[in-house]
Amino acid sequence: MQAGRELDKRDAVADLEMCQRATSGDWRLQHTVVGLSVKIGDCWIGHANKNDAEFIAESRTALPYCIEHAETLNEKWVNYWNRLRKFAENNNFEDVERFMSDLEREMLA
C-alpha cells in the first residue's frame, strides 16, 4: 500500500481492511526517559514529537471511524437520490434526467 496517496484515489475498502489488520486495543502515548513513544500492545514504536505521537495513537480508532462514517453517509445519499428519482418519475416530471442533473449540480455546488 502506497502512503500519501491522493484522497480521491484511495480505496476505502482496502483502507478499512488495513485498519482491521492492525494491532487491536489501545494505542497509547507513553512518556519515556528519552521522550514520547507510542505503545501498541506490547510493542514500542519509536520516539516522536508530541503531535506526531498523538496522531499515530489516535489514528488507530479515528481512521476506521471516518471510513465507516463516510460509507454510511454515502449509503444515505444513494438512498435519498433513488427516492428522489422515484418521486420525480412518479410525479411525471417531463424531463427527469434534466431535473436530476440540475438538482445534483445544485447540491454539489
Long-range contacts formed by 44-53: CB under 8 A, 24+ apart:
53/29
pLDDT given for residue 44 in this prediction: 77
Q: Which of 30, 66, 36 is nearest to 48 (CA)?
A: 36
Q: Output the pTM of the full model.
A: 0.60
User: From the CB of residue 15, how many other CB atoms can be counted at a distance below 10 Å?
Assistant: 16
> 100: which residues sit within 8 A by CB, 6+ positions away?
84, 85, 88
Q: What is the pLDDT of residues 41-63, one digit of tens each?
A: 777 777 777 777 888 888 888 89
pLDDT given for residue 2 in this prediction: 47
| Residues of the chain under the 70 pLDDT cut | 1-8, 94, 109
